[in-house]
Amino acid sequence: MNKLEKNNNKTFEDIKHIDENGSEFWYARELMSILEYNKWENFEKVINKAKDACENSGISVLEHFPDVRKLSKRANNAEIEIKDYKLTRYACYLIAQNGDSRKKVIALAQTYFAIQTRKQEISEKEYSSLTEDEKRFYQRDLTRKGNYSLNQTAKKSGVKNFDKFHNAGYKGLYNGETADDIAKRKGLRYREDILDNMGSTELIANLFRISQTEERLKKDNINTEKEACKTHNKIGKIVRKAIKEAGRNNARRPTNS
The residue ranges of every structural domain in the chain are 1-102, 122-257
Mean pLDDT across 214-230: 94
pLDDT at 248 over 70: no
Q: 107: which residues sit within 8 A by CB, 6+ positions away?
A: 101, 238
pLDDT at 81 over 60: yes
Position 129 scores a pLDDT of 79
5-53, pLDDT tens digit by residue? Answer: 333 446 787 898 988 777 789 999 999 999 999 999 999 999 999 999 8
Position 1 scores a pLDDT of 39
Position 139 scores a pLDDT of 83
99-132, pLDDT tens digit by residue? Answer: 887 888 888 888 778 766 666 666 666 777 777 8
DSSP 65-125: --EEEEEEE-TTS-EEEEEEEEE-HHHHHHHHHTS-TTSHHHHHHHHHHHHHHHGGGS-HH
pLDDT at 243 over 90: no
